[in-house]
Amino acid sequence: MSYQALARKWRPRRFSELVGQEHVVRALTHALDSGRLHHAFLFTGTRGVGKTTIARIFAKSLNCDKGPTSNPCGECGACAEIDAGRFVDLLEIDAASNTGVDNVRDLIENAQYAPTRGRYKVYLIDEVHMLSKPAFNALLKILEEPPQHVKFLLATTDPQKLLVTVLSRCIKFNLKRLSPEQIAGQMRHILDAEQVSSDAEAIETLAVAADGSLRDGLSLLDQAIAFGGGALHSAEVHSMLGTVERAKVQVLLDVLARGDGKALLDEIEHIAGFAPDFAQVLDELAALLHRVQLAQLVPDIGDAALRTFAETLPSQDVQLWYQIAVTGRRDLPLAPTPRVGFEMALLRMLAFAPAGAQGARVPAREGAASETRRSSPVASSPMPSRDPPAMAAPSRDPSAPPAPRASSSSSASRAVASSPANFSEPSPPQRAPVSPPPAVDENPPSDWAALIERAQLRGPVGQLAQQATLVAIEDRLVRLAIAPAHEHLADGLFVEQLEKRLGGVLGRDVRVKFERADASAQAHTPAQQRARADSARQSAAEDAVRDDPFVRSMIETFDARVIPDSVRPMDARNDGESR
């Protein structure tokens, strides 16, 4: 027996088998069950969403020996002949090939005769918008006063081209584009029935590539199964479509999170070797950032890698990178080459950070360059409180005498000291530099945080290390303790990177083994130590602001108040580099 394409083999034959379009199915079902049947129906929508399929099922429902019914038996002569495409009273007309008025006149003449085999004579006119204007005018009369035994089913992808007089004589149904989830669900059902092995990423990639059309999706599925030699796996699907695997996009985001420019260019070169559609790669990166932001707002969503990104990336960075990805996708046709536009978008993510973001990455070139990256503290301050009414405080030297008291007739007698730009904060005491760890032998180094810094652990891998404590280094085994709340950070990809970087520092290949830590051990992780140090510096900065003579005068004179969230330690931006 010859092979039948999946799109034809799995074409729905009942309303219950349709994917999506519940609003259309509900209306037609009620009409059939109640006997309130209009004489003309118009189905609109993009290609491959079910317009012709629904029309054929409706024709079967009208002519089933047990009907009219919303659930045709599929076994009687009329149902079998309609499924086979040879029912004499179902006339399918391609308006793209039969556009002239003569074709419509033949249709009108034939419509006067009673059905030969079924209960109704059904005319299914596909791409009806292709009819010429004279043909439309000829069709109007019979649409207005059709014989009782005739039903018209019109389908089009471009309803705007139809005459208003035709639209007014039809019941119109707008079919929706199918979601990737709906298409993927039908693909899984078909693959299970066809006994084809597959993986989730391959199915999801094809569902997105279908672009809302189930028919297009099943055609791609046919192609992918043939390309994969009878199986469906993500590597073959991405190769066929010229797209990039999700794991590679996650590596891109990890490199961005670490702020490693050389590694970013190396990864771009690696991806370019697959000759991908760079617009699609930016789409995938934007979609990943969207999922990361969702995971930040709904902590239990997503897999371990996604939750790791959500915990390590500042939300400001996620929002900025998403905007850069979307803008870079839009500007890609204007770039000298797609790869140049893609590289510039990623380099823009690496070079810029949201104003006032603590987690901003500072380029490791020169001290002066780092200083110029500091954003204005005004940009990082929150909006002033609405109660009491705000009056901007003048910018001045804290050592200057207090401002004169405002007169009682002033329209605004109270002010809020909402921006740290209005005063200078005393520099905090300098911290002693962290000395590099001693040469490591069979004994563990005394400072796990220093080893983390020496290995340059950043991003999700750095977060994994920061949440752990070092138990021991035994030859090629590094034993780390981690609390149950952070065990999800130990994702396979990040553990491999951790082993590689620690091995580079220790001078030999190592394997990392995680053990469950108790609460007392968790309190001594580098992350907890840094959190305590950050809290102490923040408190000291807030106290310094409150003790400033100018701020005290503002508080006493205008009953102003200091907004704690607007105060940042002077070294907060530099500390963000190691977060």
The verdict on 208 and 265 lying in the same domain is no
The verdict on 192 and 293 lying in the same domain is no
Helix (H) or strand (E) holding 572: helix 572-575
Is 340 within the bounds of a domain?
Answer: yes
| Of 253, 229, 228, 230, residue with least CA distance to 238 | 228
Domain end marker among 481, 507, 524: 524
pLDDT of residue 520: 64
The verdict on 266 and 292 lying in the same domain is yes
CA dist., res. 190 & res. 30, Å (int): 29
Alpha-carbon 578 to chain mean position: 28
| Of 133, 136, 131, residue with least CA distance to 156 | 131
pLDDT of residue 395: 39
The verdict on 151 and 222 lying in the same domain is no
The verdict on 280 and 344 lying in the same domain is yes
The verdict on 487 and 347 lying in the same domain is no
pLDDT of residue 428: 41
CA dist., res. 282 & res. 243, Å (int): 11
The verdict on 170 and 76 lying in the same domain is yes
Q: What is the DSSP string of 88-139?
A: TTEEEEETTT--SHHHHHHHHHHHTSPPSSSSSEEEEEETGGGS-HHHHHHH
The verdict on 20 and 163 lying in the same domain is yes
pLDDT of residue 546: 85
pLDDT of residue 538: 85
Domain end marker among 191, 223, 241: 241
Q: What is the DSSP string of 300-321?
A: T-S-HHHHHHHHHS-HHHHHHH
The verdict on 186 and 169 lying in the same domain is no
The verdict on 168 and 193 lying in the same domain is no
390-413: pLDDT as tens digits: 333 333 343 344 444 433 333 333
Task: Write out residues in the chain with pLDDT < 50, as ranges.
Answer: 356-439, 441-445, 573-579
Ramachandran quadrant class, 230 (left: phi over 0; alpha: psi -120 to 50; beta: rest): left
Rounded to two decimals, the pTM is 0.60
For the chain, the domain total comes to: 4
The verdict on 227 and 257 lying in the same domain is no
